[in-house]
Amino acid sequence: MELVHVSPTSLESLARDLEANGTPIGAEKSEIVNITACPGSDRCRFAMIDSISLARTLDEKFFGKEMPVKFRIAISSCPNSCVSERLNEIGITGVVRPYRVPGTCTGCGTCV
Ligand code: SF4
């Protein structure tokens, strides 16, 4: 969640209120700070994976885990990449198998 247009004079009291109601704050720590997903199969006709359920699972397991640097995970449910997942430390893109140009298979057997 991102709060915009907050007066700098209100930041401390806002942080206190968020901590008091159990909302974790801070996106600049050396930990997993952000796990985002596009609307995915819930609300987008291009979706190929359930990005929101995957984000929830990752959030429950990894949010706040200590890391050497600030660490973000993003999931787009199709290659349109609405959450710019490739600009995150881990980016997941939903695709349909097989994801290749028809007729270009070399028969190496790795995709079987
Ligand atoms: S990344 Fe794809 S599935 Fe997700 S919102 Fe964008 S177009 Fe829809």
| Per-residue pLDDT reduced to its tens digit, 36-83 | 999 999 899 999 999 999 999 999 999 999 999 999 999 999 999 999
Residues with CB under 6 A from ligand 1: 38-40, 44, 46-47, 76-78, 80-82
Query: Would 108 be classed as within a structural domain?
Result: no
Whether residue 48 contacts residue 80, with contact meaning beta carbons closer than 8 Å, is answered with no
Whether residue 36 contacts residue 83, with contact meaning beta carbons closer than 8 Å, is answered with yes
Supply the range of the domain harboring residue 41.
26-93
pTM over 0.85: no
Query: Would 19 be classed as within a structural domain?
Result: no
Query: Would 75 be classed as within a structural domain?
Result: yes
Query: Would 17 be classed as within a structural domain?
Result: no
Q: What domain count does the chain have? A: 1
42: CB partners within 8 A, 6+ apart: 50, 52
> Which tokens hold the place of 24?
């974790």
Choose between 34 and 109: higher pLDDT: 34
- The CA distance from 25 to 82, in Å, is 24
Query: Would 60 be classed as within a structural domain?
Result: yes
Query: Would 1 be classed as within a structural domain?
Result: no
Residue 10 has pLDDT above 60, yes or no: yes
Query: Would 104 be classed as within a structural domain?
Result: no
For a mutational test of ligand 1's pocket, the pick from 82, 85, 96, i.e. the residue with the most ligand atoms closer than 8 A to its C-beta, is 82
